[in-house]
């Protein structure tokens, strides 16, 4: 029998009193588990170890590698110190320990809490462990959220990074102090804009002088900073200037909570409306005085008036520069609307630039769409030539697999509830314990039943799509013989458009349209 060992250490563990405690040491976990495997006569396949990851983090690299190897049946046993080291989520306990592992022929063993899928008698115990860990996650999340909300409401800075122009006060946690070297640049940006310079022009001035942008500045100074995604991370850009000019932190107000978490089970955030932000005035020394701030805000508002033609925003967020990958932004000149690479003017060497009129791009897209629709209506074989993003058969297979697992879990929940009721009837447990033990399982059972119902509906939809040759004909026919695009049409049909630099001595602009169908 081959055993795969999984260990996990979280930041929470590090904050406990004794660093050398078993639960706080990856090495101690490994030693304990290797010794146990040897005592059982199991062959050690591999040790998977995630350091500094929470039990609810689904992006743990070694955890996901373990799952991939388990699916390929590279070992027979997953061995952990406790079930919570594997996961604290009840959903993942059911998905893997009670769902996929039995299908893949994988045995799960955790030695401290005696979880063993070969022992049918302790399944309830494993489920209750999962339920308790789930409660722990939710309670911990609410406690942390409550503490952070209180600190935000009282004007304490709780972010990992100080805003450019400020640094964290080493003597007063949650307080910002001015970083004078960066503050000089912030004041210059506001002053230049108030004098009539545009945001791109300001970015170019700073880049031509070799002034490092906020991320590069922090890197050079050895300060904490967020890793950039763009390959031209050292350059000032339009959006950096734009965000700076609207940030109230520069006038001494603490503004936080612009984004909120979707769930305690994920790190994904979503924007929140301004009325839900936490804004506390006068929490730190301002870099920008109110007269300059008010003048700049009035100018921003004036410049933000939409173009009268109504075509502005038609391709917003959909067009990329083929050279640098930057999203192209709108520009108006002599009554016409254009799209240009945002890096085109920020520096001499930033990007060779892409440039096209909205009207011309719209005509190209409409012509191509009409060509496709005409060709499709003449040739049914086009359906075989287009590579579609989603494979219907794969979706159907995945859906059927999930529904089988859901139905199996529903039966297990129903049996557990019946067995618990028998225990109550026999007097083994009292009424309150019965309610506590079955409440969440009843809720989960109902959730899974709804998931099966939804799955049945989706399955019918997929069958219908297969029967009708998917909805490609519908998509094309809906938009044949078009003369103009709408924003809705662009959103529906286009994933993104890549625009290159005009070919010298011609009017030809290289364009690639990536469709959604």
DSSP of 12-28, one letter per residue?
HHHTSS-TTSGGG-HHH
Considering only 46-50, 335-339, 382-386, 481-485, which range has the smallest mean pLDDT?
A: 382-386
Average pLDDT for 261-273: 65
Q: Which residue has the higher pLDDT, 326 or 15?
A: 326
Give the pLDDT of residue 269: 67
Percent of the residues in the chain that have a pLDDT greater than 90, as a whole number: 20
Give the pLDDT of residue 201: 83
Q: Are residues 341 and 437 in the same domain?
A: no
Cα separation, 187 vs 182, whole angstroms: 9
The rounded mean pLDDT for the chain is 78
Residue 461: count of CB within 10 angstroms of its CB = 13
Closest alpha carbon to 459 in 403, 379, 390: 403
Does residue 245 lie in a domain region?
Answer: yes
With b for 16 or more beta-carbon neighbours within 10 A and e for fewer, the 204-229 pattern comes to: bbbbeeebbbbbbbbbeeebebeeee
Give the pLDDT of residue 70: 94
Does residue 71 lie in a domain region?
Answer: yes
pLDDT band at 385 (very low <50, low <70, confident <90, very high): very low
pLDDT band at 333 (very low <50, low <70, confident <90, very high): confident
Query: Do residues 268 and 262 lie in contact, with contact meaning Cβ atoms separated by under 8 Å?
Result: yes
Does residue 313 lie in a domain region?
Answer: no
Q: Are residues 178 and 226 in the same domain?
A: yes
pLDDT band at 288 (very low <50, low <70, confident <90, very high): very high
Considering only 306-310, 320-324, 345-349, 492-496, which range has the smallest mean pLDDT?
A: 306-310
Q: Which residue has the higher pLDDT, 479 or 383?
A: 479
Does residue 312 lie in a domain region?
Answer: no
Does residue 148 lie in a domain region?
Answer: no
Q: Which residue has the higher pLDDT, 126 or 318?
A: 318
Does residue 73 lie in a domain region?
Answer: yes
Q: Are residues 432 and 340 in the same domain?
A: no
Q: Encode pLDDT of 467-483 as tens digits.
A: 655 555 555 556 666 77
Q: Encode pLDDT of 168-214 as tens digits.
A: 999 998 899 999 999 999 999 999 988 878 888 888 889 888 899 99
Q: Which residue has the higher pLDDT, 215 or 386?
A: 215
Q: Are residues 8 and 110 in the same domain?
A: yes
Average pLDDT for 82-105: 85
pLDDT at 263 over 60: no
Structural domain boundaries enclosing 256: 154-303
Q: Which residue has the higher pLDDT, 498 or 447?
A: 498
Cα separation, 6 vs 29, whole angstroms: 9
Q: Are residues 217 and 335 in the same domain?
A: no
Give the pLDDT of residue 309: 40
Cα separation, 433 vs 420, whole angstroms: 10
Q: Which residue has the higher pLDDT, 508 or 65?
A: 65
Average pLDDT for 87-104: 85
Give the pLDDT of residue 48: 94
Q: Are residues 223 and 259 in the same domain?
A: yes
Does residue 397 lie in a domain region?
Answer: yes
Q: Are residues 249 and 296 in the same domain?
A: yes
Q: Are residues 450 and 402 in the same domain?
A: yes
Query: Domain of 114: which CATH number?
Result: 3.40.50.1390
Q: Which of 332-346, 356-370, 440-454, 458-472 has the highest mean pLDDT?
A: 356-370
Give the pLDDT of residue 388: 43
Number of independent structural domains in the chain: 4
Give the pLDDT of residue 65: 94
Give the pLDDT of residue 262: 56
Give the pLDDT of residue 386: 44
Give the pLDDT of residue 466: 62
User: Concatenated DSSP letters for 224-278?
Assistant: --PPP-SS-TTS--HHHHHHHHT-GGGGT-EEE-SEEES-TT---EEE--GGGSE
The tokens describing 245, both together, are 């000019």
Q: Are residues 99 and 238 in the same domain?
A: no
Give the pLDDT of residue 268: 63
Q: Are residues 39 and 83 in the same domain?
A: yes
Give the pLDDT of residue 293: 94
Q: Are residues 335 and 267 in the same domain?
A: no
Does residue 339 lie in a domain region?
Answer: yes
Query: Domain of 236: which CATH number?
Result: 3.90.1750.20
Q: Encode pLDDT of 397-450 as tens digits.
A: 778 887 888 888 888 878 877 877 777 777 777 777 777 777 767 777 777 888
pLDDT band at 66 (very low <50, low <70, confident <90, very high): very high
Q: Are residues 108 and 162 in the same domain?
A: no
Q: What number of helices (H) and strands (E) belong to the chain?
A: 18, 17
């Amino acid at each position: 029998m081959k055993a795969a060992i999984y260990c996990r250490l979280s930041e929470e563990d590090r904050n406990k009193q004794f660093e050398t405690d078993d639960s706080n040491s990856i090495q101690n976990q490994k030693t304990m588990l290797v010794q146990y495997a040897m005592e059982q006569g199991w062959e050690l396949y591999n040790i998977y170890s995630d350091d500094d990851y929470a039990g609810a983090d689904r992006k743990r690299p070694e955890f996901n590698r373990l799952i991939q190897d388990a699916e390929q049946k590279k070992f027979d046993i997953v061995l952990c110190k406790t079930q919570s080291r594997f996961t604290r989520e009840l959903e993942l306990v059911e998905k893997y320990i009670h769902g996929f592992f039995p299908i893949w022929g994988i045995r799960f063993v955790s030695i401290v809490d005696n979880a063993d899928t070969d022992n049918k008698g302790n399944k309830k115990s494993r489920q209750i462990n999962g339920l308790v860990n789930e409660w722990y996650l939710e309670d911990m999340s609410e406690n942390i959220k409550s503490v952070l909300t209180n600190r935000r409401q009282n004007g304490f800075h709780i972010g990992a990074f100080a805003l450019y122009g400020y640094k964290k006060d080493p003597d007063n946690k949650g307080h910002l102090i001015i970083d004078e070297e960066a503050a000089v640049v912030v004041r210059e940006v506001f002053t230049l804009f108030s004098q009539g310079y545009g945001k791109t022009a300001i970015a170019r001035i700073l880049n031509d002088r070799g002034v490092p942008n906020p991320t590069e500045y922090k890197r050079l100074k050895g300060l904490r900073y967020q890793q950039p995604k763009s390959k031209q991370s050292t350059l000032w850009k339009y959006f950096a200037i734009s965000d700076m000019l609207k940030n109230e932190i520069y006038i001494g107000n603490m503004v936080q909570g612009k984004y909120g978490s979707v769930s305690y089970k994920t790190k994904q955030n979503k924007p929140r409306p301004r009325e839900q932000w936490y804004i506390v005035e006068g929490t730190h020394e301002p870099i920008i005085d109110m007269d300059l701030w008010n003048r700049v805000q009035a100018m921003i508002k004036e410049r933000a008036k939409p173009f009268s033609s109504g075509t502005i925003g038609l391709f917003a967020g959909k067009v990329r520069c083929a050279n640098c990958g930057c999203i192209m932004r709108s520009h108006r000149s002599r009554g016409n609307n254009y799209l240009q690479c945002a890096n085109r003017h920020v520096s001499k060497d930033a990007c060779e630039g892409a440039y096209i009129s909205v009207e011309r791009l719209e005509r190209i897209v409409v012509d191509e769409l009409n060509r496709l629709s005409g060709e499709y209506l003449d040739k049914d074989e086009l359906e075989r030539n287009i590579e579609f993003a989603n494979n219907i058969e794969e979706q159907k297979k995945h859906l059927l697999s999930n529904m089988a697992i859901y139905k199996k879990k529903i039966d297990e929940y129903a049996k557990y509830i019946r067995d618990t009721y028998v225990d109550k009837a026999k007097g083994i447990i009292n009424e309150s314990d019965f309610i506590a033990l079955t409440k969440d399982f009843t809720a989960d059972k109902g959730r899974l039943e709804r998931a099966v119902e939804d799955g049945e509906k989706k399955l019918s939809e997929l069958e219908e799509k297969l029967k009708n040759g998917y909805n490609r004909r519908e998509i094309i026919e809906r938009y044949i013989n078009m003369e103009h695009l709408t924003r809705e049409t662009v959103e529906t049909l286009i994933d993104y458009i890549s625009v290159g630099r005009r070919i010298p001595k011609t009017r030809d602009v290289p364009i690639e349209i990536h469709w959604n169908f």
